[in-house]
Structure formats: structure tokens, C-alpha cells
Structure 1
């Protein structure tokens, strides 16, 4: 089955047809003007470096690109059937500060351990959800790409320490 998601954009192809008609009109008008200036052979001898084919190729390439962009705006779609699947669950990316300041003891046991416990309790409540983990201090990097493997998420969570990032 083939269809367009936004078929209203296909009306812009009328502009492409208009540009082609305009091109042929300008070529006709140009030939008429050149015939007024003099003999075709004499004019060709006076302009030896003028290419006849290059402007034509350039025009058709530009028109083709414009037509393809219009078709792309209409978003063609192909498949055997239309499927509207509802998915349950959320995708969560957690950014965690692992700088040395997170080792402060103003929160028991420490800020870092407390945030690890909070994230772990969040992961325990996930069912059909996905989780990812980004750690940062002076630099940031992805500790755990988005996944639905909660065991590996907890394993990566327990291994987080300020020594992972040298730039603080």
C-alpha cells in the first residue's frame, strides 16, 4: 500500500509545471530576440564559448530537485498495512552529577549515595519503561545507553563514583 502522509503538498507540483512552461516561453522569446539581432551563424561565430546544453541540463536538474523536495514534503509511505500501535511506558534519561562535591556528608550517607538510592528505587518501580544514565562532572558521558535491562542499569548505577571522570 502506498500513500502520502501530507498529500496537500503535492499541489506545489503545479509550480514546477509553471516553471517549465515559463522556461519554454523564455527560450521562445530569446530565439525571437536573437533572430532580430542577425543571422544565427554569425551570432554563433561571435559567441564561441556559449554552451547550449549546460543551461538546459542545469535547469532540468534544478526542476528535478525541486520536484523531489516537494514529494519529500508530502512524506510518501509504503507498507502492507497501517498499524497504530500504542506503546505503554516511558523512556527516561537520568543525568547524575558525580563531581567530588557529591561526596559531601551533609546528607546521610552522602549526596552521591543518596542519589544512587533514589535512582535505584525509581528503577524498581519501572515495568515497561526504558532507562538511560548520563554522568557528568567536568565532562559528561553516557554511562548506560537507553535500555529496558534493569539489572544492568542497577549494576552500572552501583559502579558510579567520582573517579570515573578525571576532569572535575
Structure 2
């Protein structure tokens, strides 16, 4: 999933160029595909490391609770009752659309969403997806913490 995500990362810029609608100006540089950041993002240079760690943990808690336990732990099994063996496709598409607020990343997210839904449905277990999601979502935050520390 991680290597595939890096291959699809250029689709962010492609979507921005084709659609011609820029993301909101208030995005931090770490989320804004128009920015190229080398080193520590400017908004993190003066942020205390304890606050960065607290934010990262808060974000991860609600991210995993909302996306993994709710989407793949609660919704997916109920969709499977109705849609059967191909539920993972519908579920992956809906989970991707759940991120419509991050529209320039939809193609980037789709591959991982389909893979996560497939693995969760076929294994009837969300543990591996929770671990993968934690790894993907902590890479950037961990790098920033090491750079600021």
C-alpha cells in the first residue's frame, strides 16, 4: 500500500492542474500539494514538541477509531450481508468518497482504500489494516518529530 501510494502521489498535482481549483489557503504545508517542503514545515518550527506529539496522538486515536473501527469494523460487515463477496469494491469507493474534502487526493487514496477493504473483508479481521493505517499516518508526523527534536 505504501509503495503504491508513492507511485500515485503525482496524481495530486495532475488533479489540481486538470480541475484548476486550488485547495483551501489555510492548509498546512504538510497537506498542501502545491507546496514542496524540505526540512521542517514553517508552521512546526516554533511549535513545542510536546504539542506536536499530543496532536499526533489525538489525530491517530480519532483517525483509527473513526476510519478503521467504524468503517471496516462496523460498516463493512453490514455491507457484506447485502452485497456479498464484492463488498470490498463498494466499501473502498465509499471510503474514498468519504474523503471528498481532500478531493485532490482521491486517486491517491483509492488504491489503499480498495486494498484495505479487500484485506479486511477476506480476512474478517481489521488488525493488519489498523497497523498499516497507523504506519502510513505516522510516517510524516514521526519524521517531523525527529527533525524538530
The TM-score with structure 2 as length reference comes to 0.32
Q: Which has the higher contact order (CA 8 A, sep 6+)?
A: 2
Indicate the structure (1 or 2) with the bigger Cα radius of gyration: 1
Of Structure 1 and Structure 2, the greater helix share is in: 2
The TM-score with structure 1 as length reference comes to 0.29
Of Structure 1 and Structure 2, the greater strand share is in: 1
